[in-house]
Every structure is written in C-alpha cells, then in structure tokens.
Chains A and B, each alone.
Chain A
Amino acid sequence: MRILIADDQRHARSGLRALISATLPQPDIREAADGLEAERLCEEFEPDLVLMDVRMPREDGLAATRWIKARLPRTRVLVLSIQPGNRADALAAGADGFACKCDTPDSLLAQLRSLGLPVRAEDPGL
C-alpha cells in the first residue's frame, strides 16, 4: 500500500508513520511537509491513501485535497485537523474522511477501516 503523510509537524509525521507501519501490511510511506509537496508526491507516487493535515505552509491541506481528488480520484484522502470544525470544509473539498488530531489512534484506525483499508489491530506491546 502506498501512503503519503502530509503534515508540517515532523513529530506528527513520525507518529503517523509509526501507527501506519504497525497496522497496515507492508506500507510504502512517503512524507510531505506542505500542500505543494503533497501534490508533487501524489503525481509521482500515486498513493492509495493520503493523510492530510489542514494547516500547512505554502499550500493548505484543503487546497491540496481539492487538487488531488480532481486528478487522482482513486486516491483516498483522510484529512486530519486539530479543529473539529474543519470537517465540513474537508468533505466539501472532496476528502473521503475526516479525523480530529486529538482523537485516539484507535479512532483514526477506525476511520481507515471505514475507507476500506486492511487495517490490523495494533500490537498492544508497541
């Protein structure tokens, strides 16, 4: 599975990478620190899933979501935000799902399952 993680916060990207690595089968993960880099990597990499932060420099996640969904309709985009209020805007931009960054990892995994991804339960030892 090809996964793109787009977030300007390095530690958030690391956390998402750790979670994805523990729960998806053999993921191929790339990272972007802003919306423009996310678009460039999507063109090159054609990910199955993008985990997209909203607030990023150069171009925000909602604009990047619109761009990606217009060109790569099969790429699923899950928008992540610290503001629950961004849900409506994320869905209007074409996102396939929305999760709040303050949600638990289990809640995020449930969202990924609802998008049809083969998420396995996380090893509690991790």
Chain B
Amino acid sequence: MKKSIRILIADDHAIVRRGLKALLATEKDMAVVGEAENGAEAVEKAAALAPDVILMDIVMPELDGIEATRRVTAERPETRVLVLTSFAADDKVFPAVKAGALGYLLKDSSPDQLLEAIRQVHRGEPSLEPSIARKVLQELSHPGGGAGKPTADPLTARELEVLRLISQGLSNKEIASKIFVAEWTVRSHVSNILGKLHLASRTQAALYALKSGLASLEDVPPG
C-alpha cells in the first residue's frame, strides 16, 4: 500500500488550519500529522514528527515562516516546505525560495491547485503559482532586475556602512582598514548586501547606494 504524504500545517489562524485539514481529509494519499500555530512550533514539530511536507504560512508570531523554513530545511532537507500565503510580493517570495521553500502558493489558490502542489513538492519538484514563477524567472534572466526593491531582510547598520564605502570606490581591503575588521568579514558583508538587494556586482551596489540616497556623488572620489 502506498504511503500517505505526511503533512504538517503551520498557520497562526486556527480557522485556516481547520479549512486545510478538511480539504486534506478528503485525499486518500495525504495525512495531516500535526499543526503548528507559529514558526517556532513548526520547527519543533518538524523535528518531532518528521513530516514529508509542511504547509507554511509566512506571517506568524514568535518566528516567521521564512526563518522557520530556513531552520527546517537546514536540519532536515528531506522535509519539503510549501509556502502558503496571502502575499505575492517580491519581499516575501525571494526570501522564501532562498530559505529553501520548494513551493510557493497563494492562499486563494483552488483546492485542486493546492493538492497538486503538495504532490509536486513531495516528489521533489518545485511548485510555484504562475505569477510567482514569472517573477522568479524574470529575476533569474535579469539578475538585479529587481534591484533595490524592499526586502523582508533589511540591511544592518554595518552593511549600510559597507555599502556607502563601496559607493566611494573603496576595495574590500580599504574598507576593512577603515572600519577595523578583517578583509574576509568585509567580503561576507558584501555578499550579504548583494543577496539581500538581489544585485549582481559591486558596481550595481554602488549605483543602488547613489540611487537610494545612501551616498551622494560628492562622496565619490574623482577618478
């Protein structure tokens, strides 16, 4: 007999969890093994129950769904995460995908779409709502095309400082000397900055800093 897909539902709204349970109860190849009402509980229950698939809401108290996804997929990569959310915004989609979510579906998707998405991610195949898939493809084909859009993961104060220094044309070594850290630390900051802003190069980062007012042309030394 084929094993059921074991599913954990993580959503802070009891009514939504109930609705999902009612839907999944109609499917012979699916079994809800647990529920979580916040991201921290999702991580705990994922470790305890070892579900095949987690239906993960994003906006939850204690720990959001993106961080919960990151922790779950780091600890147990065989658990697939299908994000189920009201948000189609870039600042949720890309962090969710980067955190390891294999699927991303909006909450107003049809029952059939949801059931198919669960089966797809269980097989290890990505499942993205068509409008989400377009955004991701656009980002892949034009890296940095989404540059500058607000992210769910804002730059830290140190990252902002490094970004300003990049826009002044300083090398990693010069930045490290200026802010009294090791050069590898600066490389790490630069990597985080490019990742958070969906940028592909220092040049794009410098332009972003100028465009967003973090730096001005007066700061740029004469070439």
Interface residues in chain A, defined as those with a beta carbon under 8 Å from any beta carbon in chain B? 8-19, 33, 80, 82, 101-105, 108
9 contacts between A and B (CB under 8 A): A9-B16, A9-B108, A10-B19, A14-B19, A15-B15, A15-B19, A17-B19, A33-B108, A102-B14
Please encode chain B, from 106 to 140, with 1 for each CB lying within 8 Å of some chain A CB and 0 for all others: 01111100000000000000000000000000000
Q: Is the interface of B mostly helix, strand, loop or mixed?
A: helix
A93 to chain B, nearest CB (A): 21
CB <8 Å contact, B18 and A18: yes
Closest to A80 in B: B15
Candidate in B14, B17, B21, B108 with the most chain A CB atoms within 10 angstroms: B14
How many residues from B make CB contacts under 8 Å with A? 19
Query: Closest Cβ of chain B: how far from A49's Cβ, in Å?
Result: 15
Q: Which residues of B contact A9 (CB under 8 A)?
A: 16, 86, 107-108
B12 within 8 A of A: yes
Are B19 and A16 in contact (CB-based, < 8 A)?
A: yes
Give the number of residue pairs across the A-B interface with Cβ within 8 Å: 62
The minimal Cβ–Cβ distance linking B199 to chain A, given in whole angstroms, is 33
B23 within 8 A of A: yes
B69 to chain A, nearest CB (A): 19
Q: Which parts of B15-56 form the interface with A (CB within 8 Å)?
A: 15-23
Whether A15 pairs with B16 at a CB distance below 8 angstroms is yes
Given contacts A9-B86, A10-B108, contact A18 B19 (CB under 8 A): yes
Digitize B185-202: 1 where CB-to-A-CB distance is under 8 Å, 0 elsewhere. Answer: 000000000000000000
Q: Is the interface of A mostly helix, strand, loop or mixed?
A: helix
Q: How long is the Cα–Cα vector from A101 to B61 in the complex, in angstroms?
A: 13
Q: How far is the CB of B120 from chain A (nearest CB, A)?
A: 18
- Report whether B16 and A12 are in contact in the complex, using a CB–CB cutoff of 8 Å: yes
- B15 partner residues in chain A, CB cutoff 8 A: 12, 15-16, 19, 80, 101, 105, 108
Q: A12-B13, A15-B13 are in contact. List 6 more A-B contacts (CB 8 A).
A: A11-B23, A11-B84, A14-B19, A15-B15, A15-B17, A104-B14
Bound CA span A13–B107, Å: 11
In the assembled complex, which residues on chain A have CB atoms less than 8 Å from the CB atom of B84?
Answer: 11
Is B86 in contact with A11, judged by CB distance below 8 angstroms? no
- Taking a contact as CB atoms under 8 Å apart, the answer to whether A15 and B110 are in contact is no
Cα separation A10 to B86 with both chains bound (whole Å): 11
User: Does A10 contact B18, Cβ atoms closer than 8 Å?
Assistant: no
* Given contact pairs A15-B18, A15-B22, A18-B18, A10 touches B107 in the complex (Cβ within 8 A): yes
Distance (Å) between the CB of A54 and the closest chain B CB? 13
- Output the nearest chain B residue to A57 by Cβ-Cβ distance: B108
Assess whether B13 is in contact with A10, with CB atoms less than 8 Å apart: no
Question: Are A18's CB and B13's CB within 8 A?
Answer: no
**Which residue of the partner chain A has the closest CB to B18?**
A15
**How many Å from the CB of B162 to the closest CB on chain A?**
37
Shortest B14–chain A CB gap in Å is 6
- B14/A105 in contact, CB under 8 A: yes
Give Cα A77 to B21, complex, Å.
Answer: 26
Q: Which residues of the other chain, A, contact B16 by a CB distance below 8 angstroms?
A: 9, 11-12, 15, 101
Q: Which residue of A lies closest to B55 (CB)?
A: A11
